[in-house]
């Protein structure tokens, strides 16, 4: 063992002196200090020595290892200094790495465009809680107890009294309870439906609803506002129509369609939003005299608006976080 220790020490000294580059130095390190190097192999032999010899050779082996490591570190420092930090050298002739700037999500962009339009018409912006009570989500909006929307297949119920809101209409109720007419506001936010996930439906989506209450508000004003919005959002040449419909909280009610002609496909009418005059029962529920005040309300899905405007075929793309999709916007 004495002879091996001496030979390895002398051999290391000799090879270390002949090293002229960091690459050669790394080869020396591997030969002597790596897991299967000469010095670790001596420690393996040490395990087989008689018990009485272990104190002596344990000390000698530790001294050898520490000495070799120190000399290696010193030589490495010398070579790095002599090469002018070759390992950290920067090639200024290489092209720079392009830094990508983040952008707002397409749903955020669409929401802001819709908000900007209605704010320009004098609408304020209000938000409310996503966990809502049955009282605000259904009762105050004139939903009868047996209305299908109360069924578990449509609504995520937390318990008998609370649920994840199915629309942003409860914000209208909360607003009318606190602010007396005249009032003009929109209510953007997330809503939740217990529906099967597919290319056209998702368990959550975003809505923007609008409300205008004052004296002598008419359906003609509602139509004029929504026609102006459709032309702003889809282009001045957009074709539109109003169809009679039914919602518990508006009477009369209508749905607005636009004529859609995707490239290479046959054109058809597509619904973009629902609207109507606020039902007198809803006004009375919040303490507004329906004999003196009238109002209109409307609501639209932000995902649907974005899908129509940008030709997106699958609603799930909004939530996949795929940069290939997001970078297009």
Q: Is the pLDDT of residue 107 over 80?
A: yes
Of 64-78, 116-130, 218-232, 236-250, the least confident? 64-78
> Per residue in 74-97, pLDDT tens?
888 888 887 654 455 677 888 888
Task: Tell me the mean pLDDT in the region 50-59.
Answer: 82
Greatest distance between any 2 Cα atoms in the chain: 112
Is 241 in contact with 269 (CB distance < 8 Å)?
yes
pLDDT score for 290: 94
pLDDT score for 152: 58
Rounded mean pLDDT of the chain? 89
Higher pLDDT, 123 or 85: 123
Q: Is the pLDDT of residue 218 over 60?
A: yes
d(CA 240, CA 222): 14
pLDDT score for 225: 96
- Structure tokens given for 36: 């299967």
Is 238 in contact with 231 (CB distance < 8 Å)?
yes
Taking the model in full, what pTM does it have?
Answer: 0.68
Q: Is the pLDDT of residue 329 over 90?
A: no
pLDDT score for 88: 58
Share of the chain above pLDDT 70, in %: 96
- From the list 230, 200, 21, the residue with the least C-alpha distance to 114 is 230
Domain ranges of the chain: 2-88, 106-326
> Per residue in 264-315, pLDDT tens?
778 889 899 999 999 999 999 999 999 999 999 999 999 999 998 998 888 9
**Tell me, what DSSP letter sits at residue 319?**
G
pLDDT score for 149: 66
Q: How far is CA 87 from CA 21, 76, 91, 192, 198, in A?
A: 11, 11, 11, 56, 53
pLDDT score for 224: 96
- From the list 245, 254, 250, the residue with the least C-alpha distance to 290 is 250
Q: Is the pLDDT of residue 6 over 80?
A: yes
* Angle value at C-alpha 271, between 265 and 274, nearest 5 degrees: 175
CATH of domain 106-326: 3.30.930.10
> Per residue in 139-168, pLDDT tens?
999 988 887 767 655 888 999 899 999 999
Helices (H) and strands (E) in the chain, counts: 11, 9
137 exposure class (CB count in 10 Å sphere: 0-12, 13-18, 19+): buried
Q: What is the dihedral of CA 139, 143, 149, 151, to 10 degrees?
A: 60
pLDDT band at 129 (very low <50, low <70, confident <90, very high): very high
Length of the chain: 329
What ranges make up the beta strands (E) of the chain?
A: 124-125, 131-133, 162-164, 183-192, 204-214, 240-247, 250-260, 268-278, 294-301
Higher pLDDT, 268 or 121: 121
DSSP per position, 140-168:
GGT--TT-GGGSTTT--BSSSSEEE-SSS
Q: How far is CA 181 from CA 169, 237, 250, in A?
A: 17, 35, 18
| 304 CB neighbour count, 10 Å cutoff | 20
> Per residue in 161-200, pLDDT tens?
999 999 999 999 999 999 999 999 999 999 998 888 888 8
pLDDT score for 223: 96
Q: Is the pLDDT of residue 56 over 70?
A: yes
57 bridge partner residues: none
254 bridge partner residues: 244, 275
Please name the residue ranges forming H helices in 19-53. Answer: 22-33, 38-46
pLDDT score for 185: 97
- Structure tokens given for 26: 């790394």
- Structure tokens given for 191: 């809503």
242 bridge partner residues: 256
| Enclosing H/E stretch for 84 | none
């Amino acid at each position: 063992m004495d002879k091996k220790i001496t030979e390895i020490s002398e051999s290391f000294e000799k090879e270390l002196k002949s090293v002229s580059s960091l690459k050669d130095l790394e080869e020396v390190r591997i030969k002597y200090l790596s897991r299967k190097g000469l010095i670790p192999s001596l420690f393996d032999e040490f395990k087989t020595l008689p018990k009485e010899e272990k104190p002596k050779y344990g000390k000698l082996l530790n001294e050898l290892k520490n000495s070799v490591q120190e000399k290696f570190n010193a030589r490495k420092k010398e070579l790095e200094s002599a090469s002018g930090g070759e390992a950290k050298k920067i090639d200024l002739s290489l092209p720079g790495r392009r830094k990508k700037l983040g952008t707002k999500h397409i749903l955020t962009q669409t929401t802001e465009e819709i908000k900007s339009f209605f704010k320009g018409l004098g609408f304020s912006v209000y938000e409310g809680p996503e966990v809502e009570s049955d009282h605000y989500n259904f009762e105050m909006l004139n939903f009868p107890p047996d209305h299908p929307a109360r069924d578990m297949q449509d609504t995520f119920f937390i318990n008998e009294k609370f649920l994840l809101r199915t629309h942003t209409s409860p914000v209208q109720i909360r607003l009318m309870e606190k602010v007396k007419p005249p009032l003009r506001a929109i209510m953007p936010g997330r809503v939740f439906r217990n529906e099967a996930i597919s290319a056209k439906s998702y368990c959550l989506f975003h809505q923007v609803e609008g409300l205008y209450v004052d004296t002598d508000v008419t359906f003609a004003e509602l139509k004029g506002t929504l026609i102006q919005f459709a032309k702003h959002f889809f282009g001045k040449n957009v074709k539109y129509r109003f169809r009679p419909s039914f919602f518990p909280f508006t009477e009369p009610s209508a749905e607005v369609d636009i004529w859609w002609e995707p490239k290479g496909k046959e054109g058809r009418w597509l619904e973009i939003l629902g609207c109507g005059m606020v039902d007198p029962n809803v006004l009375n529920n919040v303490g507004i005299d329906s004999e003196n005040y009238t109002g209109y309300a409307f609501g639209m899905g932000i995902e649907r608006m974005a899908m129509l405007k940008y030709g997106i075929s699958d609603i799930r793309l909004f939530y996949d976080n795929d940069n290939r999709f997001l970078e297009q916007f």
